[in-house]
A and B are shown apart, each in its own frame.
Chain A
Amino acid sequence: MGMKTEEKLIIKGKRIDGRKPDEIREIEMKVGVIPNANGSAQVRFGNTIAIAGVYGPRPLYPKHLQKSDTGILQCRYNMAPFSVDERISPGPSRRSTEITKVTRLALEPALFLEEYPETVVDVYIEILQADGSTRVTGINAASLALADAGVPMRDLVVALSGGKIDDTMIIDLCGKEDNYSEADMPVAFLPRRKEITLLQMDGMLTSEEVKHIIKMILKAGEKIYEKQKEVLRKKYKE
């Protein structure tokens, strides 16, 4: 945000990569990609690639972090140094710390952790390639990894970004759109009852536009949900 461009991001209803405003990029999903993890998944939306690994439920140390009546969820969102044009120094940044927090809050409501007191479920998300909407791609991967790991869930978690470019409301922002958009809004939700677990926004929108974009996301998210279900079932087919 804050960057302005002379270039038009939408010409005759088509975005810079040829998509329609309510069209998602090409999606690729795989589970069981990390043999050492209890569960794992790799998800690609266009050129954004995220890989998630789940370890647990497992013992939680230090002991004072343990909760006697429930397990806890720990998350880490991290961008690989080579994931962007200008190399990122390894290690947590303020941005990745905030994304780690909102990712955890996006996934936690989906899990039944009361059945695993004193334990921890660790979810690690690595962004291997960044081309916009990395946190939602990470959440989609984490949701698959958690199901793959056999952590009990009330529903899968679906995540998608929305926004506004050249006065047009869109979903699934790629990197360039992310940089020049008038607004960027990542959302995550539990699809069965359309309950929202992540909602952030920066930019400039009327409250009507906010609501319209959320509705676009809830609708388009169905496609992501179908893909997630398909890839989980596929793991057990030959």
Chain B
Amino acid sequence: MRSEYILKLIENDERIDGRKMDEFRKINVETGCIKRAEGSARVKFGKTDVIVGIKMEIGEPFSDMPNMGVLKTGAEFTPIASPDFESGPPGEDAIELARVVDRGIRESECIDLEKLCLKEEEKVWEVYVDIHIINHDGNLIGASALAAISALKTTKIPKLEDDKIIRDKLEKKLPLLHEPITVTVGKVSDKFIIDSTKEEEEVLNSKLTVAIMEDEKICAMQKGGTDRISFDDIEKMINLAIKKSKELRKLL
């Protein structure tokens, strides 16, 4: 059985595609690929392919943050991406992915939301980060988060004329304060792997996703998988995630 074979390899510090345990697949980042969106990026980690589109809309601020713009993140596990994805509203995995990517952006204060306020308590810019999975071969959170930050970096705010959005006149860049990088570390038996493929994810016992700032502070974490992990495991996984985040940061 293939998954038993993959498990055996990992237990011997080997991977089915020949990578090292902490090695990323070939990563490709392409920004500005969706012209109708105010910002966009397509990121590939090996065969995993994710597009993030950024749309800017006008809306009302949250009542408890009346002078700040609004961030909304969504994800769709479109059926084209995998035989396991079904049509319909987002399931728990898509919702979780969107919320985890959102946390990385929100808690890091990546976007300077105060600068997106147009009229306090009434009108602000809303930033919609929409994640579209094109092909699922594992590490969806990692690819989505990298695509999101890459897209945000190239996003431009459309011109506003008498309350109407003129989308073909893009003016200033979206003001960003920080650039969070999200890394997921997988645990298989007592080994840790980076950038798992879909097949590897089927043998993963647990994973820990960590969103990391430029100064190595952590702004979001999410444990996944059905197995238990020890305090020592957590320590090792956090350290590995921080180390690998530096590689991904170079791609921004």
Contact = CB atoms under 8 A, between A and B. Distances in A.
Interface string A164-199: 000000000000000000000100011001111111
Given A196-B228, A205-B217, A207-B242, A101 B107 contact: no
A197 B228 CA distance: 5
A28 interface: no
Q: Provide the main secondary structure of the chain B interface.
A: mixed
B229 A195 contact: yes
A211 B92 contact: no
B226 A108 contact: yes
Interface of B: 64-65, 92-93, 95-96, 98-99, 103, 106-108, 208, 213, 216-231, 234-235, 238-239, 242
Contacts of A197: 223, 228
Interface of A: 1-3, 94-95, 97-98, 100-102, 105, 108-109, 185, 189-190, 193-207, 210-211, 214-215, 218
Contacts, number: 102
Contacts of B95: 94, 97-98, 101
Contact of B228 (A185, A190, A215): A190
Given A1-B106, A1-B107, A100 B92 contact: yes
A97 B94 CA distance: 10
Interface centre among A108, A190, A207 (most CB of B within 10 A): A207
A206 B242 CA distance: 11
Contacts of A210: 218, 221, 234, 238
A108 B224 CA distance: 12
A100 to B, nearest CB: 7
B132 to A, nearest CB: 17
Contacts of A108: 226
A4 to B, nearest CB: 9
Contacts of B99: 94-95, 98
A207 B239 contact: yes
B209 to A, nearest CB: 10
Contacts of A206: 216-218
A18 to B, nearest CB: 26
Contact of A200 (B64, B106, B108, B222): B222
Given A97-B92, A98-B95, A210-B221, A199 B234 contact: yes
Nearest to B97: A98
B181 to A, nearest CB: 14
In order of increasing CB-CB distance, the 9 nearest A-B pairs are A195-B228, A201-B221, A199-B223, A101-B92, A202-B103, A97-B95, A109-B228, A202-B107, A207-B238
Contacts of A190: 228
B230 A194 contact: yes
A3 B64 contact: yes
Contacts of A200: 221-223
B231 A214 contact: yes
B44 to A, nearest CB: 26
A150 B220 CA distance: 36
A193 B222 CA distance: 21
A203 B218 CA distance: 8
Contacts of B230: 193-196
Contacts of B239: 207
A207 B218 contact: yes
A191 B216 CA distance: 30
Given A97-B96, A200-B222, 19 more contacts: A1-B106, A2-B106, A2-B107, A98-B99, A100-B92, A102-B222, A105-B226, A108-B226, A193-B230, A195-B229, A199-B234, A201-B221, A202-B103, A204-B108, A204-B218, A204-B219, A205-B218, A210-B221, A218-B231
A27 B159 CA distance: 55
A207 B107 contact: no
B71 to A, nearest CB: 10
Contacts of A193: 228, 230
Contacts of B96: 97-98, 101-102
B223 A198 contact: yes
A102 B98 CA distance: 14
